[in-house]
Amino acid sequence: MLFLNNQDVESLLDMPACLDALETGYRDLIKGDAGYRGRIDTFVPCERQDAYYRWGTMEGACRTFETFAIRMKSDIVHWPEGKTEEKYCMQPGTFCGLILVLSTRNAEPLALINDGYLQHMRVGGCAGLGVKYLSRQDSRTVGILGSGGMARTYLRSFCAVRPIERVKVHSPSVEHRETYAQEMSRALGIKVEPVDSPEKAARGVDILATATDSILPTLKPEWARPGRHLTNLSDREVPTEVLSRCDVVIKLGSGSVRTESLGKSWEYRGEVASLILGNAEERQRIPIPKTPRFQDRKDPHLIEVMANPTLGRRSPEDITFFANMGTQGLQFASVAGKVVKLAKEKGVGRQLPTDWFVQDIRD
């Protein structure tokens, strides 16, 4: 069995490989050869009076890669001033997220993978698939709200599927947006300009993406303009008024878990089914999203557009929106499946004794 850290994954997985793995997974899903279980979170009161412990999992299978994967994450989460969601494991700046990959051929445990780099790549890659199937083919300019890891993989994926020439980025932190601009200009060989307001980032661009940790809306209705493609990172960033202005709204997917089937202790927090423990006062720590629940919308899914492009953009003037949420379990199964395949081919990673993870007592 392999253990792969983030540096191992980064050495194996570039954006074209990630996009290829994701498309493989979604093509399997179209055929009925892939599946996933939507994300489930469990919230438990912790010693911090302004925070909660959160355990989250998502899982899926991809027949082409003969893999099943479950991604597991352990966080202390808090919401400073009710504006952003912050998290850590043990202490600020450290995080715990792992992907367990198993063989659907013989049930063998194949790999345990740190999830950080792969997590950013699979989210950015899916945003790139939205651009591939919904934006105008001549899209050359991008506006990005956010300057973190997701904003980096979003731009990498956009450049992999469209001839991007110019980018504007806004982040509340001057240092962060300037660092992003310098880094991404060098990496992609294009002009990336830091700007001092969201409005400037949104002005005159073909593709507008929000990739922030905000729990408040970041997009404005007037930014939904003819010919433009918009996308997001979370449902919390998108007010209802934006969606009402779009000609085409496509969802990446949705969770297969409904809280109604789990009991009254469960509820949806945005797209995620959540079991929230604690008394009424403690539960008030967790913000309730004030943006539309994509779970309740009946928009077509990406795989439907892949199978039938007429469900997507119909004219150059259409305003398209891609809700980049859902199907996470399948993304981990397909992208981690690709990473394990590449790691074996190239001899990357540390070997762990497989007998540590199997036993002779029937469960």
Q: How many CB atoms lie within 10 A of CB 352?
A: 14
Instruction: Tell me the two tokens of residue 193.
Output: 């300009």
Query: What DSSP designation does 236 have?
Result: G
Which helix (DSSP H) or strand (DSSP E) does residue 280 occupy?
A: helix 280-283
At CA 7, angle to CA 3 and CA 12, rounded to 5?
85
In this structure, is the dihedral angle defined by the CA atoms of residues 71, 69, 158 and 135, taken in order, positive or negative?
negative
Q: What residues does each domain of the chain span?
A: 2-118+328-348, 124-255+289-323
Q: Is 153 helix (H, G, I), strand (E, B) or coil?
A: helix
How far apart are the C-alpha atoms of 333 and 329, rounded to whole Å? 6
Contact 26, 301 (CB under 8 A): no
From 158, 163, 160, select the one nearest 230 (Cα to Cα): 158
Q: pTM of the entire structure?
A: 0.90
CA angle 239, 116, 257 (to 5 degrees): 55
E strands, 211-247, where? 229-231
Full pLDDT tens readout for the chain, 363 residues: 999 999 999 999 999 999 999 999 999 999 999 999 888 999 999 999 999 999 999 999 999 999 999 999 999 999 998 888 999 999 999 999 999 999 999 999 999 999 999 999 999 999 999 999 999 999 999 999 999 999 999 999 999 999 999 999 999 999 999 999 999 999 999 999 999 999 999 999 999 999 999 988 999 999 999 999 999 998 889 998 999 999 999 999 865 455 445 555 666 666 677 788 888 888 888 887 666 666 667 889 999 999 999 999 999 999 999 999 989 999 999 999 999 999 999 999 999 999 999 999 998
Exposed, middle or buried, 189 (CB in 10 Å: 0-12/13-18/19+)? exposed
Q: Are 154 and 211 in contact (CB under 8 A)?
A: yes
- Residue whose entry in the numeric block shows the structure tokens 């998502």: 58
State the maximum Cα–Cα separation within the chain, in Å, rounded to a whole number.
64
Pick the CATH number of 124-255+289-323 from 3.30.565.10, 3.40.50.720, 1.10.8.80, 3.40.50.300: 3.40.50.720
**CA–CA dist 244, 326 (Å, integer):** 21
Q: Which helix (H) or strand (E) holds 143?
A: strand 141-145
Across-strand partners of 100?
70, 112
Structure tokens at 342: 């590449």
Q: Which superfamily does 2-118+328-348 belong to?
A: ornithine cyclodeaminase, domain 1 (3.30.1780.10)
- The rounded Cα 270 to chain-centroid distance in angstroms is 14
Local structure of 273: helix, strand or coil: strand
DSSP state letter for 221 = G
Q: Are 118 and 338 in contact (CB under 8 A)?
A: no
Query: Could you tell me which of 26, 125, 111, 108 has the C-alpha nearest to residue 341?
Result: 111
